[in-house]
Structure 1
């Protein structure tokens, strides 16, 4: 067999996009050039890689297997490039981090100084709910994940960053000097939840279940920011992470309600698969986090200790 790396790259892009046209656009090639490379690769095999049915590309089972191998080869070529540059003392590359939605208040502070030290390294930050973050990690579609709950049945390494605290909150009320609730009081108010799959939602449901609270009325919203705005508007009460409420607490938009068994405390962790072959840029980032996390927490999250 005499296929080339260029043929593998082109074929991989075609099966990812399921389109000659889209693959050509991304690779900055003409459509005939892409078709020729795929045809030359196909000539190396007796089994079809792709089938065109009604002008649509369908990847065969064999073609999918070859695609997985192509991806490994392309990744290894990128790793060779990274290692070569690293030995020259210049770090470049890409690091992808999947972040649970409330983690967006944390992760930027753990990137800023590193980005200045290594301007050749680019970051892709995917902010979503816990379920999708874990799915991305399982499929090896991300280098690192920032989570407050460690996934079960996954072989991972972790670096503990800082404590995550969740409090019961409501709209600020200047007429009440002391805000003390019993758990039974939660049965009399509207509660605002995050969407299914959110770690904050799961923590709130566990609290309500373990304290045998019969909820009155609930509202479900799809982001922490939406929940926060609903609380500020007076739509109800919610258990929310402290990390995302700094300005609202200081501006008296939101207040914390004292209630038994709160706050809930978990830990922010930067996690990654144990078997993952980390690039030089990812290894440099891990080293940076281990050496600088305490200083970052002190410089940017000292206010956190007051609650």
Structure 2
């Protein structure tokens, strides 16, 4: 396998992550035929197929599953080498990979824009996933820093709170709950709920709230993104618990309203998380300090804190 290239390994890991050639191509800014060609060349070098392809369905072969373990180790080692070089170059240049839960994409990119104005030589990559996905990426050294609302108790991480994170119940303006004023938690029983997928921090907060109040929500829909949930709630298909930091436009336009429910908003914290075993590069350390210093003021100005 002496002819295997880093480009082929990166393409292989991307396809293995998504199990979809088109999505991997989009992530790598390549065309699907270019991704297919890289995988074919890699399989030629390996001498065995790495993927099973049945129509549009793609899955790893046994060889592919084993090869993925070593491919990730290679990329993680290369990232460590890049970080070492960045420390010699100081903070003016380097690359950061930042992971964030989907709820954080409403405020991390604009904050990152301010950071990049001060550090134009720093290259930044963003990845979005639910909490469980980010923890796996941290463990595999695929991200330097992660922004999430509930850090891990299992991984040895440094988790630093940087801002309050209020979550609220929302409905369409003409939903029955919206006309009742302040209501006890029991008033939520019997209404349809639209919820995030298992593994997301928002879903965990909702389940904890209902457990605290001895309720079992009637889940009518389960969705993997805040935007689709908001659209369903605006269509009066149910009620949802969402981060206040996702609702700026909808609340200001009157398309959604906050339902005034007992023990809400549910207040959590936003955290910057990194593995304790990982030595952060100067650019990553600079972004970490930037978020700890500026994020709370930004969120307060943009969204308010209840």
Settle same-fold status: TM greater than 0.5: yes
Q: Which residue of the partner structure matches residue 3 of structure 1?
A: none
Of 43, 47, 52, which aligns to 2:47?
52
Q: Which residue of the partner structure matches residue 200 of structure 1?
A: 202
Q: Which residue of the partner structure matches residue 139 of structure 1?
A: 140
Unaligned runs of 5+ in 2: 14-24, 26-33, 52-60
Is the 8 Å Cα contact of residues 100 and 129 (structure 1) preserved in structure 2?
yes
Counterparts of 1:219-230 in structure 2 under 5 Å?
Answer: 219-230=221-232
Count of residues in Structure 1 that have an aligned counterpart in Structure 2:
273
Is the 8 Å Cα contact of residues 171 and 257 (structure 2) preserved in structure 1?
yes
Is the 8 Å Cα contact of residues 109 and 300 (structure 1) preserved in structure 2?
no
Distance (Å, rounded) in 1 between the aligned partners of 2:169 and 2:254: 15
Distance 1:128 1:15, change over 3 A: closer
Distance (Å, rounded) in 1 between the aligned partners of 2:187 and 2:271: 33
Alignment TM-score, normalising by the size of structure 2:
0.75
| More off after superposition, 159-168 vs 64-73 | 64-73
Is the 8 Å Cα contact of residues 182 and 262 (structure 2) preserved in structure 1?
no
Q: Which residue of the partner structure matches residue 91 of structure 1?
A: 92
Distance 1:69 1:251, change over 3 A: closer
For residues 226-265 of structure 1, the C-alpha deviation after alignment (integer angstroms, 9 at most, x for no partner) is 1111111111111111111112111111111112222211
Q: Which residue of the partner structure matches residue 186 of structure 2?
A: 184
Distance 1:80 1:255, change over 3 A: closer
Larger radius of gyration: 1
The reply on whether 1:107 has 2:108 as its aligned counterpart is: yes
Unaligned runs of 5+ in 1: 1-6, 39-49
Distance (Å, rounded) in 2 between the aligned partners of 1:72 and 1:217: 40
Distance 1:60 1:195, change over 3 A: closer
For residues 242-289 of structure 1, the C-alpha deviation after alignment (integer angstroms, 9 at most, x for no partner) is 111112111111111112222211100111011102122212223333
Alignment TM-score, normalising by the size of structure 1:
0.75
Is the 8 Å Cα contact of residues 136 and 142 (structure 1) preserved in structure 2?
yes
Distance 1:64 1:97, change over 3 A: closer
Counterparts of 1:1-307 in structure 2 under 5 Å?
Answer: 10=4, 12-14=6-8, 51-53=46-48, 71=75, 74-75=78-79, 77-86=81-90, 91-173=92-174, 179-290=181-292, 292-293=293-294, 296-302=295-301, 304-305=303-304, 307=306
Distance 1:8 1:276, change over 3 A: farther
Distance (Å, rounded) in 1 between the aligned partners of 2:266 and 2:65: 49
Distance 1:55 1:298, change over 3 A: closer
Deviation (angstroms), 1:71: 4.8
Distance 1:60 1:123, change over 3 A: closer
For residues 25-51 of structure 1, the C-alpha deviation after alignment (integer angstroms, 9 at most, x for no partner) is 79xx9x99x99xx9xxxxxxxxxxx75
Coordinate RMSD, CA, aligned: 3.6
